[in-house]
């Protein structure tokens, strides 16, 4: 992929932190919600080792917010969410599958309940704003919907709390996982949640004034100097080791949450929501395919750019959605959407660009096998 | 931007032509509708000169289709489209603004009428599928909606017709602008329209079987050898010279079609559609800003990555959305969304990254000034 640059254009939006990110020598971007999302600084493996040992600043502005407010905001959020959010409480964050009328995934945001009738859907890579606006308009709901000037900056890694305490005070350490609280920065209260797209611990700061991007970055950068702070981004190796799924990669709009292992986030017996009837039918009939883990020995696989076909007993059985070498597990780890009849611990053949390889199916999350 | 690579992932989709495009040494991509769209092969200017003299193959698979079919397909399309498509005829293509309930732009597709009740919306860069699915679901319309396996390949340039005739026969030359007809390729009828995102003439072939990508590419490549055929992509210089607008760049979801100079495509007095009432009000009250052309002398501007502020009489008057050096016009040409009170032929100050520059406002399309 060397030499394949991102062509500059206003359509691929910069973030409040892009200047700082580029000063830190970002080497690889992805595009996410029409915005630059830094992927690599030193190298995938170097960034990974650093993330698991120290603390990183991640420009995740591309996690845009869909803000829903107004008298019927809660009603609309409940209608949208497979998870039962009738009793969502201010101060909490909820990971929530959002499905279409056929129960297929449109996005899997973290939903922040800001107030009784005000919510942020912190979205994965699809224009959920269009879905929400269309529903509100067609159903004549009394709500306002827009994408606010909010750009999350994530602080991730085992030393994240230390770095954050120095900027926001000791109280930050008391915020529980998937809760948010307001903390002042230069006189402006910022929403900060204990969350993030790694399992190394950390926070997301929802900066709601883009002009303050550089000073927020610099304050954390300064505070983290002796903690070996570096710029980073969601890391492919770490997120797979940790069992995190990527919408658009592992989950697509052809898949239901039940197929993706997200049944725990679908309160099918609790409330009415869009897609519920289809999901009730699928639960009743049983799923015919499911997302599983795979392990594949040996270094040297090329990086996956499109689904690789899988065979079981010489018949097509599904696809690999992502796979990468894990230094910690000393094997390649990945995900596959496979026919439900392929049992865990069975072996499948994967048609990789460098030939057919045998891989073992495993349950998620991944468990380290003692060497 | 050198060194800013696109990080490989299944989420950024490859196309049926990616293998060929990379064999032709693409050097710069953009991401469009979650898919790779080649931007540059040799250089922006070299590609531009070639496009205006010869013929190019463009992998524009990223112009995804939203297919709407079923008994109420036409009803839904009429409801969606600012343009009056009640009498849309099979065989025709319609450039159409699509607006939200507030009259703001969500997309500006080319709509292909395939049949009385079957349409393709060949979309710009936003997930219009979500908008259409939500409306159909909420309003309980009897339609099917999906993104089919259709990947347009454009053949553009003054020699496009010659190249196309050799593969599809002399009849292809008779297809009028913005019409489509089916032409067989290896026994498969392909929809081919006379259209494309340049003003150099040409066609778009809607390949509806991705496995045939390489052979379609190769057939045209072979046929164009003595025409100096090359791989290309939508070219920033040519499209600005030609007055073509880019959704996400020049047109955003904050803008109405009236502000973007698209009033001719809004049949406000003809039919009911989503956003109509807001646009009627805006027409009545008059627009307060509008998209205009700008000319700015002198080489050496950096490539625009985000809006540049404009001032008129030392007061903020709007933004530049794109600008580039035009060899043919021997000046920089661009677009600006400016306060409506700034008259054509007036001068504004543009706050570029390399200092303030004076630019002249002009009407669109651009007209060459005799040297």
Nearest chain A CA: its distance from B241 CA (Å): 16
* Measured distance CA(B173)–CA(B181) in Å, rounded: 11
How remote is the C-alpha of B127 from its chain's centroid?
15
Q: What is the CA angle A218-A222-A228, rounded to 5?
A: 120
Element (H, E) at B135: helix B128-139
B120: helix, strand or coil: strand
Q: Which of B153, B244, B236, B226 is nearest to B192 (CA)?
A: B153
Token readout for A146 is 């827009």
Q: Which of A208, A205, A181, A167 is nearest to A58 (CA)?
A: A205
Q: Find tokens 């079919």 and name the residue.
A: B69
Residues of chain A with Cβ-Cβ distance to B128 below 8 Å are: 130
Element (H, E) at B243: none
The answer to ipTM > 0.85 is yes
Q: For chain B, positions 78-117, list CB contacts with chain A under 8 A.
A: 100-101, 106
Give pLDDT, residue B368.
84
DSSP annotation of B175 reads P
- Say if residues B152 and B120 touch (Cβ distance below 8 Å): no
* Measured distance CA(B332)–CA(B169) in Å, rounded: 40
Q: Find tokens 């004549």 and name the residue.
A: A140
A139 touching B (Cβ < 8 Å): yes
* Measured distance CA(B308)–CA(B269) in Å, rounded: 36
Strands of B144-146's sheet in order across: B93-95, B110-115, B118-122, B65-69, B144-146
* Measured distance CA(B287)–CA(A134) in Å, rounded: 25
Give pLDDT, residue B278.
98
Q: Exposure pattern of B118-146 as b/e (b: 16+ CB <10 Å)?
A: bbbbbbbbbbbbbbbbbbbbbeebebebe
Element (H, E) at B78: helix B73-80
Q: Which of A339, B55, A9, A64 is nearest to A348 (CA)?
A: A339
pLDDT tens, residue order, chain A (371 aa): 444 588 999 999 999 999 999 999 999 999 999 999 999 999 999 999 999 999 999 999 999 999 999 999 999 999 999 999 999 999 999 999 999 999 999 999 999 999 999 999 999 999 999 999 999 999 999 999 999 999 999 999 999 999 999 999 999 999 999 999 999 999 999 999 999 999 999 999 999 999 999 999 999 999 999 999 999 999 999 999 999 999 999 999 999 999 999 999 999 999 999 999 999 999 999 999 999 999 999 999 999 999 999 999 999 999 999 999 999 999 999 999 999 999 999 999 999 999 999 999 999 999 887 66
Interface test with A, best of B11, B14, B24, B236 (most A CBs within 10 A): B11
Chain B residue closest to A15 (CA)?
Answer: B306
Query: How crowded is the C-beta side of A246, counted as CA atoms within 13 Å?
Result: 22
- Say if residues A304 and B10 touch (Cβ distance below 8 Å): yes
Give pLDDT, residue A5.
80
Residues of chain B with Cβ-Cβ distance to A12 below 8 Å are: 30-31, 305
Q: What is the mean pLDDT of each run of 10 residues along chain B (371 residues)?
A: 72 97 96 97 98 98 98 98 98 98 98 98 98 98 98 98 98 98 97 97 98 98 98 98 97 98 97 98 98 96 97 97 97 98 97 97 88 60
Token readout for B18 is 């990616």
Q: What is the CA angle A252-A256-A257, rounded to 5?
A: 100
Give pLDDT, residue A368.
84
Inter-chain touch B9–A30, beta carbons under 8 Å: yes
Angle between helices A128-139 and B128-139 (to 10 degrees): 30
Q: Find tokens 């505070």 and name the residue.
A: A223
Give pLDDT, residue A3.
44
* Measured distance CA(A46)–CA(A61) in Å, rounded: 23
Can you give the C-alpha Rg of chain A in angstroms? 21
Token readout for B97 is 């603004």
Q: For chain B, positions 278-337, list CB contacts with chain A under 8 A.
A: 303-307, 321-322
Bridge pairing between strands A98-99 and A105-107: antiparallel
Please count the residues of chain B: 371
* A8, A29, A133 member nearest B6 (Cβ): A29
Token readout for A265 is 């986030």
Phi, psi of B50 (to 5 degrees): -65, -45
Chain B residue closest to A16 (CA)?
Answer: B306
* A131, A247, A306 member nearest B130 (Cβ): A131
- Say if residues A203 and A192 touch (Cβ distance below 8 Å): yes
* B5, B130, B134 member nearest A2 (Cβ): B5
- Say if residues A227 and A165 touch (Cβ distance below 8 Å): no
Angle between helices B73-80 and B128-139 (to 10 degrees): 120
Inter-chain touch A322–B10, beta carbons under 8 Å: yes
Write the CB contacts of B332 (distance below 8 Å, at least 6 apart in sequence): B294, B295, B296, B297, B298, B301, B323, B324, B325, B326, B359
Phi, psi of A277 (to 5 degrees): -60, -40
Tell me the count of A-B CB pairs closer than 8 A: 172
* Measured distance CA(B167)–CA(B212) in Å, rounded: 15
Inter-chain touch A10–B100, beta carbons under 8 Å: no
* B3, B137, B321 member nearest A101 (Cβ): B137
Inter-chain touch B3–A3, beta carbons under 8 Å: no
């Amino acid at each position: 992929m060397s030499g394949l640059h991102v062509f500059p254009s206003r359509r691929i939006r910069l973030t409040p932190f892009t200047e700082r990110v580029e000063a830190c020598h970002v080497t690889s971007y992805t595009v996410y919600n029409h915005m630059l999302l830094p992927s690599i600084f030193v190298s995938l493996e170097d960034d990974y080792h650093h993330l698991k040992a120290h603390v990183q600043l991640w420009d995740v502005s591309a996690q845009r917010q869909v803000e829903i407010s107004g008298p019927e905001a809660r009603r609309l959020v409940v209608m949208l969410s497979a998870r039962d959010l009738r009793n969502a409480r201010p101060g909490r964050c909820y990971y929530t599958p959002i499905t279409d009328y056929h129960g297929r995934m449109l996005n899997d945001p973290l939903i922040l309940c800001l107030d009784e009738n005000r919510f942020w859907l912190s979205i994965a890579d699809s224009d959920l704003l269009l879905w929400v606006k269309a529903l509100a308009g067609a159903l004549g709901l009394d709500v306002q919907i827009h994408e606010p000037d909010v750009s999350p900056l994530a602080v991730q890694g085992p030393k994240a709390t230390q770095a954050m305490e120095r900027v926001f005070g000791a109280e930050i350490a008391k915020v529980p996982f998937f809760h948010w609280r307001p903390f002042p920065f230069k006189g402006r209260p910022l929403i900060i949640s204990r969350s993030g797209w790694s399992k190394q611990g950390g926070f997301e700061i929802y900066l709601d004034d883009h002009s303050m991007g550089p000073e927020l970055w610099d304050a954390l950068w300064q505070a983290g100097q002796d903690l070996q702070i570096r710029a980073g981004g969601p890391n492919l190796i770490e997120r797979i080791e940790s069992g995190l799924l990527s919408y658009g990669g592992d989950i697509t709009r052809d898949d239901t949450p039940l197929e993706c292992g997200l049944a725990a986030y679908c309160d099918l017996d609790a409330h009415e929501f869009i897609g519920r009837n289809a999901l009730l039918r699928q639960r009743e009939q049983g799923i015919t395919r499911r997302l599983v883990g795979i392990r594949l020995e040996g270094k040297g696989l090329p990086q996956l750019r499109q689904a690789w076909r899988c065979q079981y007993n010489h018949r097509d059985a599904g696809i690999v959605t992502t796979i990468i070498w894990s230094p910690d597990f000393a094997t390649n780890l990945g995900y596959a959407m496979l026919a439900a009849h392929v049992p865990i611990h069975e072996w499948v053949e994967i048609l990789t660009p460098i030939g057919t390889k045998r891989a073992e199916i495993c349950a998620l999350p991944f468990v380290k096998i003692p060497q």
